[in-house]
Amino acid sequence: MILKLNKNIFYDISLFRIFYVISLLFEIIAISPIEIFAGYLNGIIFIWGIFICLHIMFKESYKFNIKNKNIAFLFIILGVFTSCFNFSSNILMNLIINFNNLMCIFLFLGMSKNTSQEKADAEVNFLFKFIIYFSFFVSIFSIYILFAHKHINFMGHDLGISQNRFFGITTNPNQLAFLSVISIFSCDFLQDKYFKNKFKINKFFLRICMALNIITLFLTDSNAAFIFITIYLSIKLFYENFSSYDKFKNIKFLREIIFVSMLIIFLVSGSFLLRMGCQKLVTQIINSQKINENLPEEQKTLKLDDFKEPLKIGRGNHELSSGRILLFKQGIKLSKIHPIVGIGRENLYYYSRIYLDGGLAFPYNHADLHNIYLTIIVSYGWLGFALFMILILSYIYKIAHVIFIKMHSMNSKLISKLFAIIIAYFVYASFEVGILSGIAFADILIWLYLGYAVMLINSDKKNNF
């Protein structure tokens, strides 16, 4: 009996998803012990995922029966072929990335096939709450470091602010900004009556978290994340305005589009002004801090060095694309090497050293083109890009059909929030590291959103919608 129970836990896909997302979430923390532990934990959970996939393939193949299953398998097979065709020292990492893609598609996207509705609701509730609490503490500690120290170097990592960018306690300001946006969405999502009727939620705490994450988002000065949240709110506003009509055919399209467009313009311009105001206010508060005269002489000298130059938050009149135009041009050159099947995801840096003068413009620790579409074209070729888009667009169309054609289904409002964050994510990932870029929190989460949206759609169908 105990052995059977342990076996059920080991092959529990919902439990695997929870641990996988959380282990990747902790990897964004720029504190070496946490980062190293999260890395090892992620490796163990990844191996766990391999066993689950093999078990499903041979024992419970019906759980692999997702929409456009053949397209998904062709994409995975192409990825393996590309890895072998472009054989290099990165062959193992390329194969690992392909197996991660397999898990994302069949274990996350296939949620409605491998998990019950009740279990999926509990999983999403737990994960979203975990993200909210996690971002709350990350924001608190990040803002504390900013006000107390401005910048510190802890075990080789910059914390606080560096080069006018607010990192906080994360590895990158864009990571902190992404976490803030996802947390804002999670707060909004869990306040829907569908979840309020099932799980206990402290609305006051959720509002505090939303406010804190908005401040953190403004301080990071991430344009991509700013676009992310703006598009999410715009689509949400657009849907809520249209859903006020009884039937789709009754909508006065021109009038509503003009009205919503004006609201979006005010939303965007107002948000920019708020961001600038927030950055200036925080800058003035920190720069107005006086040195404590009671400090010992050595500490006082350290403080004077820290405040020798006034703090600035924001990049000012910087190049708007932050080097992404150069990366795009380099990506176009790399896409011409093997235009049909690509060069393999983990070969980007390797091939850039061969075919580009000076290599990739911004390789960092993990080479990327900061554009998911171009990254997929370069990594898997135009054939891989076509397979990927067919798979993704089929799911997006399915979600859009429910929320716009069948606007008053039981879960349509909840699904509309997922639709908004999904569309916003695919726009955001045109400027940032995203889906299929590697094994990271930002890469995995979109598959969870897509999988759960399909789960809610299937739930509506079962309720005779």
Q: List, for residues 273-312, the tens digit of each pLDDT value.
A: 877 788 788 787 777 764 444 445 544 444 434 445 566 7
Overall average pLDDT of the 137-162 stretch: 84
**Cα separation, 233 vs 154, whole angstroms:** 36
Tokens for 345? Answer: 């995801």
Tokens for 246? Answer: 């009884």
**Cα separation, 445 vs 98, whole angstroms:** 17
CA R_g for the chain: 23
Give the Cβ contact number of residue 135 at 10 Å: 25
**Cα separation, 25 vs 450, whole angstroms:** 19
Q: Alpha carbon 168 to chain centroid distance?
A: 18
What are the respective helix, strand and coil percentages of the chain, to the nearest 5? Answer: 70, 5, 25
The answer to whether residue 429 scores a pLDDT higher than 60 is yes
| pLDDT band with cut points at 50, 70 and 90 for residue 355 | confident
Which pLDDT does position 305 carry in this prediction?
41
For the ranges 119-123, 143-147, 165-169, 253-257, the maximum mean pLDDT occurs at: 119-123
Which has the higher per-residue pLDDT, 19 or 1?
19
Which pLDDT does position 357 carry in this prediction?
80
Which pLDDT does position 275 carry in this prediction?
79
Which of 464, 379, 386 has the alpha carbon at shortest distance from 98?
379
In a 3-state reduction of DSSP, which class is residue 153? strand
Which pLDDT does position 417 carry in this prediction?
92
Residue carrying structure tokens 């976490």: 179
pLDDT digits (tens, 9 = 90+) for 211-252: 999 999 988 888 888 889 988 988 888 887 777 666 655 566
| pLDDT band with cut points at 50, 70 and 90 for residue 461 | low
pLDDT digits (tens, 9 = 90+) for 186-198: 999 998 888 877 7
**Cα separation, 338 vs 64, whole angstroms:** 31
Which pLDDT does position 304 carry in this prediction?
38
Overall average pLDDT of the 440-454 stretch: 92
Contacts of 195 (CB under 8 A, 6+ apart): 121, 125, 189, 201, 414
Sign (positive or negative) of CA dihedral 110, 114, 116, 120: negative
Give the Cβ contact number of residue 128 at 10 Å: 21
Overall average pLDDT of the 132-136 stretch: 95
| pLDDT band with cut points at 50, 70 and 90 for residue 407 | low
Which pLDDT does position 239 carry in this prediction?
83
**Cα separation, 401 vs 213, whole angstroms:** 32
The model's pTM is 0.88
According to DSSP, the β-strands at 165-168 and 157-162 are antiparallel
Of 140-149, 255-264, 278-287, where does mean pLDDT reach its minimum?
255-264
According to DSSP, the β-strands at 165-168 and 151-154 are unpaired
